[in-house]
Structure 1
Amino acid sequence: MSILHGPTIPFPADSTIPQLFAEQVRERPDAVAVVDGAHQVTYAELDERSNRLARLLCARGVRPEARVGVLLDRGHELVTAVLAVLKAGGAYVPVGPGHPPERRREMLADAEATVRVTREDLRLAAAWPSTPLPLPADSRTQAYVLFTSGSTGRPKGVMVEHRSVLRLVCGTDYVAFGPDERMAQVADPSFDAFTFEIWGALLHGGTLCVIPTETLLTPGALGPALAERRITTMFLTSALFNEVMADRPDSFAALRNLLVGGDVVDVSRARTLVDSPRDARPARLVNGYGPTEATTFAVCGPIESVPADAMSVPIGRPIANTSCYLLDAGLRPVADGATGELFIGGPGVARGYAGLPEETQERFLPDPFATEPGARMYRTGDLVRCRPDGMLEFVGRVDDQVKIRGHRVEPGEVEAALGRHPDLRQLAVVVDGAAGERRLVAHVVPATPGTRPAGLREFLAARLPEWMIPSAFVVHPALPLTATGKIDRAALPTAPADGSDADAVSPRTDLERELAELTAELLGLASVGVTDDFFALGGHSLLAMRLVSRVNDRFATEVALGEFLHDPTVVRLAAEVSRDR
């Protein structure tokens, strides 16, 4: 089978997000729409707050197809803002705090988002009337623009229409939404899982429950938080799922649905969960696959068992109102069981890339297998095969794109950013590590002596989000070249397992020595100094979570992850362990 169709299920393809939200406001005005710490916002309150802000946005010139930058952290104010943008007829462009200022400016400029929403605008909006505006009626209007990594050196803004969002959360067959659902909100707003979370809850009368980032990343804190908030459905990236499973595998016991995706699901972690006693695991574990260009999910599959000899977990089958085609280089269906490039069709396919007509034409092609006039299919670049049971299995990529902790990363974009450094003569950014543990490594040739990895990392931190910064910077006198004069990436050496600076401070106590050894082991380094910055040595937030978990297990302490993130050094970790003990 190389052409697969999900079931055809009626969904409100001619409606818009504000129209369906208005129906929920009429049916259950006093039901809680959003829970954010001490804040509980009902449907009627959210409706009124978003109406006020929508009127302010309209006064600033927001009209259908206008793009509005939303510069807010996760929380009830963010929900108000994106709903207000849609009510004003615009498309929201979420630019979260995980992006450095220069990248935010680039994204907003590329999206042509001349109007922006900040917390100050929410305060100003309080003076505007809360009466409803005429609701936008065109389901083919843009709803939002999300940016993904671009091989040309700049991120690409994916334009998604209202119809595509409604195909994701209405008439679904991969999960059932309803007013009794309490949806966890954990995704960064610039990550497309946010679409599933917010509209899966609010267009069905459910409750969106914001989980604080520190709770999400603190070992042992997630499970109690999910139980306390009575969460029924949650999506986690595969990387975070793996970390939680390694530390507290019973964290998801209270859930009705746990969806995992964003990268290859770890076989052993999935097997551990599905083999757990029924009262220690969620009722359903679902593998969710889909690029941003196909509106979050295109393929899903329940994970009910994982055989002992399984080498991978299948990604599933096309969800309702979605088609998948496995094609060869000539865009012909491959033979049954053969590997082909995955193309996705149906109303979930996005409009294209904002301001990039050539890239849009390259990736969004006419769909020769569809009956709808003008239908298009999206070329994913993913290689998959169809198993005899009809389940799709991920095989690899046709290009260099990789997933780093659930985020799409084009090494070419990282190279382009690093190439702006004035003191580099040659550079190459490559990927090493297996699925789920992949990392970026930058190999550089300085133009002048004295260029240090710490300075290069600082340079990139001002331009790229944390997940796009290489874990290691290797300085060379020259990079190997092929016979044609190009950099021979295959001949680049493995990054050395010693990231500690020559001026590193050695441990001064037994506790510091033990913590330094734990940190070095986790980072794969020969040693670390007690004042070395964990992130400058190649660490990231999930590794920090793992380190704090190991420290707490070793010393029977309850060190908070936030304390370490505030000062990511062995010295601070030793101080927190001593204080807790």
Structure 2
Amino acid sequence: MAALSVHDVVAQQVEQRPDGCAVRDPAEGEGLSYRELWERAGWLAAELARSGVRQGDLVAVPQDRSVDLVVTFLGILRCGAAYLPLDGLAPKDRLAGIVAESGTRWAVHSPRQDSLAGPAGCWAELRSWLPRGVEPLPVLYEDPGHPVPDVRSQGDDPAYVSFTSGSTGRPKGVVVPHRAVLRLALRPRFYAVEPGDQVASAANPAFDATTFELWNALTAGGTVVVFPSATGLPLDDWTALIRSERIDTMFLTTSLFHTVARERPDAFGTLRNLVVGGEQLEMAAVRKVLAAEPPGRLVNGYGPTETTTFAAYFDCTEDTLAGLERIPVGYPLQDTTLHLLDQDLKPIPTGDTGELCVGGPGVALGYLRRPELTAERFTTLPENGERIYRTGDTGRQLPDGAIELLGRSDRQVKLRGFRIELEEIERAALDCGLADSAFVEKVGEGPAASLVGFVLPSADGLAAVGAGAVAELPALLDARLARTLPNYMRPARWLVLDRVPLGSTGKADRAQLLKLLSAAPSAPDPAGSAPTAGTTLAQPPVTSELVAVLGDIWREVLSTEQVLPEHNFLELGGNSILAMQVAARARQRLDAPVDAGAVLLCDTLGELAVHVAGAFPGEGLAAGSEPAGPEREVTVS
């Protein structure tokens, strides 16, 4: 395996099934055979070489999932370079910082996506935020007439770089080699893709699940099917696409799986492989799917980005779950070793708690341009010299050999599939200049989980909002954080402190901070003032049956006692996963085509009611009202 590259294995599929479908986008009516994909990737590789890209270079990819994205990734690999996928939902300043940190001099964009402006509107404005010296290059749709470079990549050569949240306040780039991708794709234990199988491409390209979706399909002769966001369509329509597009294999983040399992537990019955990962998998959700119409194989997948998407797997069946209260992450993938170690990196007895460390060819090369951090997290076992990655996850081995995770040894959290270093958010809040102290914690579990922040205003912060207007500080802080942090890293609530509670050691007492949440109101006062702890907001009379039904659904999904027409879904702690639940329940109770995008985009519950009213035929509830706001896709974060 070490002598092969990813594109070497794809080339074998091109030879074996040149006319087989390699990638297709049902929404755009576009598709490429293996021969066509290889040809177009060759055109791009030739253009990249002409532009100065050499073996070992890094090329940024500001694109959303599409046929062009697959062409771009393969073209960059054929040039001997590595690709850097970017998140179209991230703030432009953050994207610019990542590109600058990477040191790349090229960015391959899609002219088709530029014209659509992308989900965040940043691809159309590429030149406005790309650092100076970075050259935008378009995906090619015709032969440029240049020779395709003949570059031989080796197993340890970088294939891609994936940036993740960093505890030092800036994202860190994980350098993943070809051997690690092939370890994931070849001879897999945790699923089976056959030639011609349809594999959904539904992940954000910057999320390392894309590695599984694309290369596990293309190295096996399968078809990559560009799949829409789960929040871009009503849940019924999205799940219907799984059947109509004959999807065989799919990956879902744990939070999204939980949501679909609650609302449509029979949605996965036609899948042969469903892999779920990113957070602790809920037993109740899995049992609900198994009892309804389960997929052929339901797998709990585990693995940090540094171990190339997955390092462990656990088959979820009635038999394997019998007697368990918590779903394990399970057993090592092919060519992977899992170790539970103490602080001295020595093995611990079965049943004891230790740090989970991962070895094998799936382990990344390290962090881009961060030798100190690489040395801290990537090390060798003292007993045999095996190179391992220290995950920071704590766990124990069960009697049958499966590994069960128990928590973290640091302040890293998982939220809706994203790995977040809380220190990065706290540093970003301090960098805004509005606070002297900032603390961020994760509260809740599953789809209802969210981030909450506590901030002690600085003199500049108080001056920025004006005397007597401290309640405006959270909104101002959030606006400034929006310049540098993606939505999933911005706390749903900020509580303003007049002092920082201290523990016996003199450090901030985070347990006391969390207790303040129960004393604080769950939503901002509609009048704009900041109620003191214990203040009760008066519930206004219900103005219509529609508002009452929607309000009840919000209360159920958000687990809050009070929802007013003036309240905003996101400010109450909502997110794209919970919006799917709201939309699904509203469709059931109101028989109206409510979609998750409308739940997220409408400013208030009242505005959502107007939007929904416009969807009722004839003399339905509040018929005749105009829908509020534009409709556009909102990608799960």
* Deviates most, 335-344 or 170-179: 170-179
CA contact (8 A) 2:448 2:558 kept: no
- Selected match of 1:263 from 260, 264, 279: 279
Pair 1:358 & 2:372 matched: yes
CA deviation profile, 1:164-203 (whole Å, cap 9, x unmatched): 1001101222222321321111111111111011001111
Quote how far apart the aligned CAs of 1:31 are: 1.0
Pair 1:62 & 2:53 matched: yes
Please, which runs of 5 or more residues in structure 2 have no aligned partner?
112-136, 529-538, 617-637
Cα separation, 1, equivalents of 2:481 and 2:561:
25
Pair 1:287 & 2:300 matched: yes
How has the CA–CA distance of structure 1 residues 136 and 567 changed in structure 2, closer, same or farther, with 3 Å as cutoff? farther
CA deviation profile, 1:186-237 (whole Å, cap 9, x unmatched): 1111111110110011111110011111467632223210111111111111
How has the CA–CA distance of structure 1 residues 300 and 187 changed in structure 2, closer, same or farther, with 3 Å as cutoff? same
Cα separation, 1, equivalents of 2:425 and 2:72:
31
TM-score w.r.t. length of structure 1: 0.92
Quote how far apart the aligned CAs of 1:18 are: 1.3
How has the CA–CA distance of structure 1 residues 130 and 547 changed in structure 2, closer, same or farther, with 3 Å as cutoff? farther
Cα separation, 2, equivalents of 1:274 and 1:86:
40
Cα separation, 2, equivalents of 1:568 and 1:87:
46
- Selected match of 1:423 from 413, 434, 451: 434
Quote how far apart the aligned CAs of 1:522 are: 3.1
Residues 312-323 of structure 1 mapped to structure 2, 5 A cutoff: 312-323=326-337
Pair 1:397 & 2:421 matched: no
CA deviation profile, 1:388-427 (whole Å, cap 9, x unmatched): 1111111111111110001101110110111122222222
Task: Supply the AA of the counterpart residue of 2:335.
Answer: N
SS of 1:220's equivalent? Answer: helix
CA deviation profile, 1:354-383 (whole Å, cap 9, x unmatched): 01111100000013455xxx7410001111
In the alignment, which residue of structure 2 is the partner of 1:183? 199
CA contact (8 A) 2:523 2:567 kept: no
- Selected match of 1:539 from 555, 566, 574: 574
Pair 1:444 & 2:458 matched: no
In the alignment, which residue of structure 1 is the partner of 2:445? 434
In the alignment, which residue of structure 1 is the partner of 2:551? 516
* Deviates most, 247-256 or 455-464: 455-464
Quote how far apart the aligned CAs of 1:63 are: 1.3
Quote how far apart the aligned CAs of 1:13 are: 2.7
How has the CA–CA distance of structure 1 residues 204 and 164 changed in structure 2, closer, same or farther, with 3 Å as cutoff? same
Quote how far apart the aligned CAs of 1:510 are: 3.7
* Deviates most, 421-430 or 68-77: 421-430
In the alignment, which residue of structure 2 is the partner of 1:407? 418
Pair 1:501 & 2:505 matched: no
Task: Supply the AA of the counterpart residue of 2:108.
Answer: V
CA deviation profile, 1:435-466 (whole Å, cap 9, x unmatched): 55432110112231434322222222221111
How has the CA–CA distance of structure 1 residues 269 and 281 changed in structure 2, closer, same or farther, with 3 Å as cutoff? same
CA contact (8 A) 1:142 1:162 kept: yes
Task: Supply the AA of the counterpart residue of 2:484.
Answer: R
Pair 1:19 & 2:8 matched: yes
- Selected match of 1:83 from 54, 74, 78: 74
Residues 244-259 of structure 1 mapped to structure 2, 5 A cutoff: 244-259=260-275
Cα separation, 1, equivalents of 2:282 and 2:59:
38
CA contact (8 A) 2:252 2:275 kept: yes
SS of 1:452's equivalent? Answer: helix
How has the CA–CA distance of structure 1 residues 455 and 218 changed in structure 2, closer, same or farther, with 3 Å as cutoff? farther
SS of 1:479's equivalent? Answer: coil
Cα separation, 2, equivalents of 1:308 and 1:22:
44
Task: Supply the AA of the counterpart residue of 1:50.
Answer: A
SS of 2:431's equivalent? Answer: coil
Cα separation, 1, equivalents of 2:599 and 2:558:
16
Cα separation, 2, equivalents of 1:225 and 1:572:
29
SS of 1:254's equivalent? Answer: coil
How has the CA–CA distance of structure 1 residues 330 and 422 changed in structure 2, closer, same or farther, with 3 Å as cutoff? same
In the alignment, which residue of structure 2 is the partner of 1:8? none
CA contact (8 A) 2:194 2:222 kept: yes
CA deviation profile, 1:282-332 (whole Å, cap 9, x unmatched): 011111111110111111121112657632011111111011111111111
In the alignment, which residue of structure 2 is the partner of 1:9? none
How has the CA–CA distance of structure 1 residues 217 and 325 changed in structure 2, closer, same or farther, with 3 Å as cutoff? farther
SS of 2:200's equivalent? Answer: strand
In the alignment, which residue of structure 2 is the partner of 1:100? 91
In the alignment, which residue of structure 2 is the partner of 1:329? 343
- Selected match of 1:296 from 309, 316, 321: 309
- Selected match of 1:480 from 465, 489, 501: 501
Quote how far apart the aligned CAs of 1:571 are: 3.0
SS of 1:154's equivalent? Answer: coil
SS of 2:193's equivalent? Answer: coil
CA deviation profile, 1:257-280 (whole Å, cap 9, x unmatched): 11111110001011122233xxx2
- Selected match of 1:198 from 211, 214, 235: 214
Pair 1:379 & 2:390 matched: yes
CA deviation profile, 1:442-493 (whole Å, cap 9, x unmatched): 0112231434322222222221111111121111211212344422112113
Pair 1:162 & 2:162 matched: no
In the alignment, which residue of structure 2 is the partner of 1:220? 236
Quote how far apart the aligned CAs of 1:68 are: 0.8
Pair 1:459 & 2:480 matched: yes
Please, which runs of 5 or more residues in structure 1 have no aligned partner?
1-11
In the alignment, which residue of structure 1 is the partner of 2:188? 172
How has the CA–CA distance of structure 1 residues 199 and 123 changed in structure 2, closer, same or farther, with 3 Å as cutoff? closer
Task: Supply the AA of the counterpart residue of 2:157.
Answer: T
CA contact (8 A) 1:13 1:167 kept: no
Cα separation, 2, equivalents of 1:363 and 1:68:
25
Cα separation, 1, equivalents of 2:432 and 2:506:
22
CA contact (8 A) 1:341 1:384 kept: yes
CA contact (8 A) 1:338 1:386 kept: yes
Cα separation, 2, equivalents of 1:137 and 1:473:
49
CA deviation profile, 1:28-60 (whole Å, cap 9, x unmatched): 121111111211121122112111111121122
How has the CA–CA distance of structure 1 residues 314 and 143 changed in structure 2, closer, same or farther, with 3 Å as cutoff? same
Cα separation, 1, equivalents of 2:232 and 2:360:
34
SS of 1:440's equivalent? Answer: strand
In the alignment, which residue of structure 2 is the partner of 1:136? 152
TM-score w.r.t. length of structure 2: 0.84
How has the CA–CA distance of structure 1 residues 311 and 325 changed in structure 2, closer, same or farther, with 3 Å as cutoff? same
Cα separation, 2, equivalents of 1:407 and 1:143:
22
CA deviation profile, 1:58-112 (whole Å, cap 9, x unmatched): 1222112211110001111111111111111111110121211111111111211
Cα separation, 1, equivalents of 2:146 and 2:13:
17
* Deviates most, 442-451 or 190-199: 442-451
How has the CA–CA distance of structure 1 residues 132 and 20 changed in structure 2, closer, same or farther, with 3 Å as cutoff? farther
| Number of corresponding residues | 564
How has the CA–CA distance of structure 1 residues 182 and 368 changed in structure 2, closer, same or farther, with 3 Å as cutoff? farther
Task: Supply the AA of the counterpart residue of 1:452.
Answer: L
Cα separation, 2, equivalents of 1:434 and 1:565:
20
Task: Supply the AA of the counterpart residue of 2:475.
Answer: A
In the alignment, which residue of structure 2 is the partner of 1:558? 593
CA contact (8 A) 1:93 1:146 kept: yes
How has the CA–CA distance of structure 1 residues 286 and 376 changed in structure 2, closer, same or farther, with 3 Å as cutoff? same
